[in-house]
């Protein structure tokens, strides 16, 4: 019996101005969904793991367009023009791949909502759990979030401590 795992990524992702010096053709093409590496037995159609993201998950914050950065920044209250939220240094793809591996083993269903405190050097200092469908998933994802290096937040143009919200919705179903 096959299983379909969908992650609806609603990670409150943050914005950073793109470098004007970086040419658009130097960037990898945007990826909005991650597919399972190995198809399940009986089909060569890969299972989609991430089915929704408003921004490309394979880009760093500085590689996002201004519009994509604005989507991330809009998820924070009172964000001034020189302010930027923290963001995974290597983009969302490594996080989603790690969470997918955990989900393949756990098969949790429901919403996961966590909040990572990131210091001015881009290191996670703590993770708070607001909602989770499974304790094993919670522990594993919290570990991944703590080990992730982040682009530090900017407050009035200076590195500062700020929280990074991480949200996903998991469902398991049949193909």
Query: Which of 6-10, 80-84, 112-116, 148-152 has the weakest average pLDDT?
Result: 6-10
CB atoms within 10 A of CB 142: 20
Instruction: List the domain boundaries for the chain.
Output: 4-173
In this predicted structure, what is the pLDDT of residue 34? 46
Q: What pLDDT is recorded for position 2?
A: 33
Those residues whose C-beta lies under 8 Å from the C-beta of residue 68, and which sit 6 or more positions away, are 15, 54, 55, 56
The partner residues of 165 in beta bridges, in order of sequence, read 115
Average pLDDT over residues 127-148: 96
List of E strands, the chain: 4-9, 50-52, 87-88, 110-118, 124-131, 150-151, 153-155, 158-160, 162-173
Identify any residues that bridge with 81 across adjacent strands, giving them in sequence order: none
């Amino acid at each position: 019996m096959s299983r379909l795992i969908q992650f609806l990524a609603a990670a409150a992702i943050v914005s950073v101005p793109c470098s004007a010096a970086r040419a658009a053709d130097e960037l990898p093409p945007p990826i909005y969904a991650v597919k399972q590496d190995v198809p399940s037995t009986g089909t060569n159609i890969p299972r989609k793991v991430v089915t929704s993201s408003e921004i490309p998950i394979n880009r760093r914050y500085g590689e996002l367009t201004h519009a994509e950065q604005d989507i991330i920044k809009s998820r924070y209250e009172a964000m001034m023009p020189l302010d930027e939220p923290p963001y995974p240094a290597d983009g969302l793809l490594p996080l989603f791949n790690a969470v997918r591996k955990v989900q393949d083993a756990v098969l949790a269903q429901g919403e996961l909502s966590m909040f990572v405190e990131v210091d001015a050097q881009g290191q996670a200092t703590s993770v708070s759990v607001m909602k989770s469908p499974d304790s094993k998933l919670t522990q594993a994802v919290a570990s991944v979030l703590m080990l992730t290096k982040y682009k530090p937040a900017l407050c009035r143009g200076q590195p500062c401590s700020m929280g990074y919200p991480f949200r996903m919705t998991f469902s398991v179903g049949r193909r």
